[in-house]
Each structure stands twice: as C-alpha cells, then as structure tokens.
C-alpha cells in the first residue's frame, strides 16, 4: 500500500491566477516588455533542459565510479559544491546574467527536483528524460511584493525580473516592474490578496506566463501571474481514521464510492436522492467529449479541402481550429476534475471518513479495461482529490488494483467469471450482483484488502470452485 498523503499539522499551499497590467509610469513600453518576457521564457526553457542533462551526466559519472570503486562518491567531492543545483547555478549565472539571480536559482532547483522525482522511472525504462518546452518564468518568493495602493484603490505587485546591470541598460531604476493585479471584482481573488497584505498568507515560488486573450475579436498576448501562497490549516474536522472511503475511478463512470461502515450488499445507491453519495454521473462528460471529438474529426477532414485563401499560410493556420478544440477539451477536463474532487471529499466528510483509499493506476493503457480512465486525465483527478483531502486532514492511500474488480465483497470469492459483462458484477459462488465499479469500490474501502487478496485463491476463467480453498471476507 502506497501512502499518497498523510495529514500532519502543517501549512497548505494553493495557486491563484491574476492578470498583470503594466503600470504606465515606468520607462518601458508594453510591447517591449512582452518581447523581454518572450526572450526570458526561451532562456528558462534552455536553462531547465541544460540542468536536466547536467544531472544526467553526473549520474552516469557516479554509476561508472561505483562500478570501478564499489563506493558511491559524495556530490561535494565531485563538484566541490554541496548540491548539484548550487554547482549549476554557479555556471549559469554569468551566461544568463540578464535574469534576476533568485529566479534563475528557482528554475534550476525546479528542474533538479523534477529529475530526482523521475529518476527511478527513467532507470526502469518507464519514462524518457524530461524535455521542457515553452516554460513559464519561475519567480522566487522574494521576487514578489504585493501592496494595496490607497490612492488608486488597487492591489499592486512589484515583481523582480532583471539583474541590476541589465535593469540599468533598460533604463530602469530597480530590478523589477510594478503591475496592477486585475481581480475583475472576484471576491475569492480579493480575499487572497487581502490575506497576503495582512501577512495571513505567505507568498511561495510562483510563475509568470504569457497567454492570448481576445480583445475586440483579436488575440492579444497578456501577462499572467500564477501566484502560489501558503497558509495554516484552519479546517479542523474530527474524522474517524478507521472509517475508510473506497474510490474506483471507473469503467462506465468517472468515480464510484463506498464506505467501510456500510453493508457490502446494501442497495442505498439505487435510491435517487442518495445516488450522488455513491456514483458520480459521467453522462455530461461523455456528451461533451462526443460533441468535441465529432467536431474535431469533421474539421480534420475539411482541412484537406481548404480554399486558395488559406494556402501558403503554414500548417499552424490550417490546424488552428483543431488546436482550439483540443484546448477546449483540456480546459473542460480540468474543470470537471475540480468538481469531482470536491464532491468526493464532501462525501467523505458527510460519512465521517478520515481515510480515502483508491487504486494505484500506474500503467493504465489501451489494453486495460479502464476505457473511461484512458481517455481521461486520471492522474490529475487523483492529485486534485489528494490536494482537496489535505485541506480537511483526510489521509489518502493508494492500493494495488489487482483483482479488486473480480472479488466478491460478500463471500470473498475471486473469480475471472465474476466479470463476464464489463459493467456488471455477478458472483459465481454466492450470486451477489452489483454494478462493476461499485463492487470494486466496496473492495477498495476494506482496510486489509491487499492482504486478503494475497491470501485468497484466484480462479481463472472456466475454473470450478473448490470449497476447500479459502475465501477471505
């Protein structure tokens, strides 16, 4: 069993998106500012890719050294620096002297952290070496200062972007620029800024990005701040850690849920007013997906028969409508995942569950029976569940999914023939019948499910049941 999140008394981190409006009383025009940000984004992408490869080269050197000497050398003995990021930073600070030093350090640390996280999977051959494309600008927490201007009654962010020498070349008196943080009268965003100004929230490492926005029916590049902030846990709810919610991210629906304090043969989920407590309806998702994919296929066919007006304008112009649809689908999935995660955690609180168990879905491919999951961002959904659960102190665990869909939660029989139909579970031993996803959720909510499956006999297709073999309930 893998512990995805264990609650401890600590601070929570969240992210908020703000449009940045460059204040006019500065010696730089907006067009020039956009060009500078574009160049800096390219530099950040190159820096991160170079950092990955320097880590890779160091690992190769270390592996060769271990083979020859049977001992692993210390990083300080090889590089004369305590950390790899410190060594790389020392090399890059003269090459990328235009960047604010703290932001440069932040980019290098982020790439080093990503490399370490992916290293095991990379060595197993499950992942390729990370390659960055079109990266946002990394901002150190000390690079951002937010204040409230009483004269214009707006929140102002001072963001450090340039080194002192480069700032002088640009005719700036300081290393950064002042921006107005556009909130569009959003109460949620205003509350975040109020808490930051009042020191209730602490600013963390953030991102600065350029994104197109429609202005007078034209796409204009706008600058956005993805502000990460930290705050103390405030939602203290006394939940039962031994009461477990099991989640099956499913075949015919986004998620099915069951609770360890409920009977395994209960049919409460069939009552309409309780349906949302056990099943997340995926009909809207399927409808939107069908509409977008059908429209996408039509557009791809039309692209072959474009008129003369679209000729010689490049591939990007031809495929732009399809790209927009892909983005629309991506945005929809993210929004739905937020809704699903919120509903799941609210159900856990309602049923007094202090622990959530869900399948470890690593390795889901087209060959598996998880059709809905393969076409859905399941990792993103699981991560959002983990993040939302952390706000309420709910512990999240990931379990091995093997045989959870073939096991009967009533008698403990594990048989391949229990799932002759994809969406229906019917036990060949006791006759228990259930929705396939809900049946899996009933197994997943069992505290000792992995041990029970390991100690049970697993029948293959067509194999007769031997009553002398153990069935652990």
437 is catalytic: yes
Token look-up 């939107």 returns 288
Catalytic residue among 138, 178, 277, 437: 437
Helices (H), 170-282: 187-197, 275-278
Torsions phi, psi of 255, nearest 5?
-160, 145
Catalytic residue among 359, 395, 434, 446: 359
- Report how far apart the first and last C-alpha atoms of the chain are (Å, whole number): 19
Helices (H) and strands (E) in the chain, counts: 13, 18
| Token digits of residue 400 | 């091995």
> Which residues 6+ apart lie within 8 Å of 358 measured at CB?
4, 246, 247, 248, 249, 382, 385, 396, 397, 398, 399, 444
Contact 389, 356 (CB under 8 A): yes
Catalytic residue among 98, 138, 248, 277: 248
Distance CA 62, CA 60 (A): 5
Q: Which residue, among 102, 350, 349, 361, has the nearest Cα to 249 in the 3D structure? A: 361
> Which residues 6+ apart lie within 8 Å of 469 measured at CB?
457
Distance CA 407, CA 426 (A): 10
Torsions phi, psi of 116, nearest 5?
-65, -40
Instruction: Give the DSSP per-residue string, 283-351.
Output: HHHHHHHHHHHHHHHHHHHHGGG--GGGTTS-HHHHHHHHHHHHHHHHHHHHHHHHHHHHHHHHHHHHT
Dihedral angle of Cα 149, 153, 155, 157, to the nearest 10 degrees: -40
| Token digits of residue 94 | 């003269």
Helix, coil or strand: residue 240: strand
Helix, coil or strand: residue 134: coil
Q: What is the helix, strand, coil percentage profile of the chain, to 5?
A: 45, 25, 35
Distance CA 141, CA 149 (A): 21
Cα Dmax for the chain: 86
Distance CA 181, CA 148 (A): 10
Q: In what order do the strands lie in the sheet with 2-5?
A: 2-5, 395-399, 353-359, 240-248, 255-259, 279-280
Beta bridge partners of 207: 138, 226
Which active-site residues does the annotation give?
248, 359, 437
């Amino acid at each position: 069993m893998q512990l995805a999140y264990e609650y401890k008394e600590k601070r929570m981190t969240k992210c908020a998106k703000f449009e940045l409006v460059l204040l006019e009383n500065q010696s730089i025009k907006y067009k020039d500012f956009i060009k500078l940000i574009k160049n800096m984004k390219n530099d950040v992408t190159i820096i991160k890719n170079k950092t990955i490869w320097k880590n890779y080269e160091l690992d190769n050197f270390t592996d060769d050294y271990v083979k020859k000497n049977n001992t692993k050398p210390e990083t300080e003995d090889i590089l004369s620096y305590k950390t790899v990021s410190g060594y790389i930073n020392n090399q890059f600070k003269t090459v990328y002297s235009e960047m604010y030093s703290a932001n440069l350090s932040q980019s290098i640390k982020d790439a080093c952290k990503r490399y370490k996280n992916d290293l095991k999977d990379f060595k197993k051959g499950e992942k390729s070496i990370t390659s960055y494309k079109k990266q946002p600008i990394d901002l150190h927490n000390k690079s951002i200062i937010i204040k409230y201007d009483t004269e214009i009654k707006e929140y102002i962010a001072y963001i450090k972007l340039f080194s002192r020498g480069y700032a002088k070349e640009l005719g700036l008196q300081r290393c950064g620029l002042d921006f107005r943080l556009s909130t569009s009268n959003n109460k949620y965003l205003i509350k975040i800024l109020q808490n930051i100004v009042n020191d209730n929230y602490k600013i963390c490492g953030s991102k600065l990005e350029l994104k197109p926005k429609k202005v007078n029916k034209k796409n204009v590049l706008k600058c956005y701040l993805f502000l990460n902030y930290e705050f103390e846990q405030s939602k203290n709810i006394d939940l039962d850690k031994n009461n477990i919610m099991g989640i099956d991210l499913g075949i015919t629906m986004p998620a099915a849920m069951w609770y360890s304090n409920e009977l395994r043969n209960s049919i409460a989920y069939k009552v309409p007013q309780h349906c949302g407590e056990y099943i997340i309806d995926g009909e809207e998702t399927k409808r939107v997906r069908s509409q977008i994919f059908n429209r996408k296929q039509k557009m791809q066919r039309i692209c072959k028969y474009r008129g003369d007006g679209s000729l010689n304008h490049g591939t990007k112009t031809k495929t732009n409508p399809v790209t927009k649809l892909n983005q629309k689908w991506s945005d929809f999935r993210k929004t739905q995942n937020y809704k699903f995660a919120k509903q799941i955690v609210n159900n856990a609180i309602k049923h007094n569950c202090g622990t959530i168990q869900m399948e470890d879905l690593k390795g889901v491919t087209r060959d598996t029976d998880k059709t809905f999951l393969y076409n859905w961002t399941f990792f993103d959904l699981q991560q959002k569940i983990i993040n939302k659960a952390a706000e309420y102190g709910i512990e999240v665990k990931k379990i091995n999914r093997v045989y959870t869909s073939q096991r009967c939660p009533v008698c403990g029989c594990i048989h391949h023939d229990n799932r002759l139909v994809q969406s229906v579970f019917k036990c060949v031993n006791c006759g228990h019948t259930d929705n396939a996803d809900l049946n899996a959720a009933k197994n997943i909510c069992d505290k000792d499910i992995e041990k029970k499956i390991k100690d049970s006999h697993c029948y293959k297709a067509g194999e007769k049941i031997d009553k002398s073999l153990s069935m652990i309930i």
